[in-house]
Each structure stands twice: as structure tokens, then as C-alpha cells.
Amino acid sequence: MMAATEVPRDDGRVGPAVRRPLSPPWPPEEVPAEESPQAPPGPKADPVPVEASIERRRPALLPRSILGITALVLAFAVGAAFSGAILYSYYEFKKDTTEKRVAGFIEGFGGRFDTALATIEAEANNARAEIQKELEPLRKTRAEGQTLESLVKKVEPSTFFVTTLDEAGQPSVGSAFAVASDTQQTLLVTSYTTIKAATRQPGPPVRVRKGDAEIRSTLWTWDEGKDLALILLAQGGVPTLSFGPDKLRPGERVFAISALGAAGGAVTQGFVADVSSAGLQHDAAVGQAFQGGPMVNSEGSVLAVASRSYAPLGFTSDQVYFAPFVRAACERVLSCSGGAPGLGDRDTPTRR
């Protein structure tokens, strides 16, 4: 008989192996599951509304005693006071900041204001200079009415209307202008053509007028070749015209002035056509009342003496005129020593 195999048992001892059945010899007992309690039969309860739940909880949020209400009011008061303190502090901070900025602005306002005025004045001067520079070509091209009017007003006190008779006994008129004056008398330059008949003996008188007043005068001397003459006026304190520059260029603008006009004078304008030692060639209109009057630039300085008959080339033209330079009067008509025109000591052909 085969011995049983010894194996360790659960109690730690070694013994023969015990043969165990593979499946229990009886079915396992079924353990009944616990039955869940069943709700008693009847109608289902309605759910509680949210509003009702809040209403039931509201008494728990509000204090139920005078002490609690007082505490709640005190808490609100403390919170309001704290918020007010914060807002007031912020207001004070902003006010202090604004006051500092205003004080700083006022402190430096005077200096900035003066600087701004100086800057504006400098910019205005620069702008005026630029405008004058841009307008200069236009001034050289054509004068405006205001320019002509101001030119007449400037020259009018020094110009006079001259009237006499020619060789045929017909009226001969022209203009003259003052080049020197003292307290008693005045020197007037005019055209020889105007007073030509008065240079003969006997001859017609020469009358000089200023507006409606006739002033006593004397024909002092003349230069037939240059179409120039000098009249001595028995009146002093007359404004004189200054001589302009000798250097002129073709294309520059010139003005012829007459002493006959509603405003005390009249003006025509033209351009320099040529400049030579013989005189100034120009295209400004020279009527009979303009001969002997000054030819000026835009500043009112005398450049030449207007003439209708001066012909250094031996012929005359109705479109372009020759005018002797005003400084040519210093050769025979005037004495210009020291730059100031005067009578001088030279002998004169005749005096009337």
C-alpha cells in the first residue's frame, strides 16, 4: 500500500496530505437579500418653491433684537465713514497736485509769455521779409494804384506848375520841382522848352503856381542843350527832392510827375529802355504838363528831368523819350559843390 505524501499543514506540522473534494457536496445556501423599505402608498409631496425657501431663511439673516439692529447700523456707519475718509484723502491729493501744477505754470508764465511774444515778432518779421522779397519782382513790373497815390503825395509838396507863352504867343506849360530851399528862396529845376520864349528880350513873364496861388519867381539861368532851366522862387521853407542813384539798368520802373492834377499832381509810369551818358531813355508818357517835372523811382528820389524835346541823337520819338539826368543840371544850371545844389557864382545868360 502506498504511503501518503506528507505536506505541511496549516497548523505548521507536517502530515499526510488531506484529500479535499473539488466541489462542496451540498449546494450553497442562498442568503436572502435585504428588502428595501417601501414607501407607503399615497399621493406624492410637491417640491418646495425657491421663493418660499428664501422667505424661511430671511429671518436668519436679519437681526432679531435691538442690539443686533444697532450693531448692523453701526457697521454701516463705520463703512461709510471709512469710504468717505478714503474719498476725501483722494480729493486732497488731487487738489494738492493741481495746485502745484498751477503754481508752477504761473511761476514761469511771464518768461514763457515774453519768449512767445519775441518768437511771434521774429516770425512776423521773417514773414514780412519773405513777402517783400517775393513782391519785389511785381513792384518792378507794375505799380498798384495805392503805390502811385502815395508817390504823388510824397512828391507833391515839392512840385510846382509853370505857365508862360511860347514864341507864337500860345500858352506854354510845364512842371518844376524844388532842389534847394532856405528861409527866403527856393531853387526850381524845369524844362528849357517850357520857358524858351522867356529867354528872349523882350519875352513873356514866367508864372509859377501852387494850387490856386501864384508865387513871384525869376528865371535865373538855363541850358538849352540839356533842355534844363533854373527858376528862383521868392518863397522859402519848401520841401526838396533828393537825387537818386546814378546807376540804372534797363527794365527798371520810372515815374513821371506833373504838378497839375486834382490831388495836387499826376503820375505816369514806364520802364527804362536804355541808359547812357547822354541821359535816360524810357517809355513813360510825358504830356505837355509833365515836361520839366521830376522822373523818380518808387522811393521818390529824382533820377532825371522829364522832357519832350531833348534829343541827344538828333531826333525825337513819340513812343520813347530821352530825359537828361538831374545831376546834369550841376554842369551849368546849378552849383553842386559838396553835394548840395545852389546858385553858385557863375555868370548867367539872362535874368528876368
CA distances from residue 276 to 4, 40, 249, 312, 327 in whole angstroms, order as listed: 166, 144, 10, 10, 13
Question: Tens digit of pLDDT for each residue in 207-232?
Answer: 999 988 999 999 999 999 999 999 99
Of 24-38, 102-116, 271-285, where does mean pLDDT reach its minimum? Answer: 24-38
Of 219, 222, 220, 217, whose CA–CA distance to 236 is shortest?
217
Domain assignment present for residue 286? The answer is yes
Q: What distance in Å separates the CA atoms of residue 182 and residue 280, rounded to the nearest whole number?
A: 30
Strand, coil or helix: 279: strand
CB 153 within 8 A of CB 161: no
Contact (CB, 8 A) for 180 and 335: no
Q: Is residue 335 part of a domain?
A: yes
As a whole-number percent, the residues of the chain with pLDDT over 70 amount to: 75
State the pLDDT confidence band at 305, using cuts at 50, 70 and 90. very high
Asked whether residue 240 is domain-assigned, the answer is yes
Q: Is the pLDDT of residue 345 over 80?
A: no
Which CATH number is 192's domain given?
2.40.10.120
CA-wise closest residue to 248 among 226, 277, 227, 228: 277
Band of pLDDT at residue 70, cut at 50, 70 and 90:
confident
Q: How far apart are CA 133 and CA 123, in angstroms?
A: 15
Say if 187 falls within a structural domain. yes
> Could you list the residue range(s) of the whole structural domain that residue 192 is in?
151-339
CA distance 203 to 196: 9
Phi-psi region of 15 (alpha: psi -120 to 50; beta: other; left: phi over 0): beta
Q: Give a yes or no: residue 290 inside a domain.
A: yes
Tens digit of each residue's pLDDT (9 = 90 or more) over 4-29: 555 555 555 555 555 555 555 555 55
Mean pLDDT for the chain?
Answer: 81
> What SS3 state is found at 295?
strand
- Examine residue 82 and state whether it is found in any structural domain, yes or no: no
Q: Is residue 241 part of a domain?
A: yes
pTM of the model: 0.59
In a domain, 61, yes or no: no
- Structural domain tally of the chain? 1
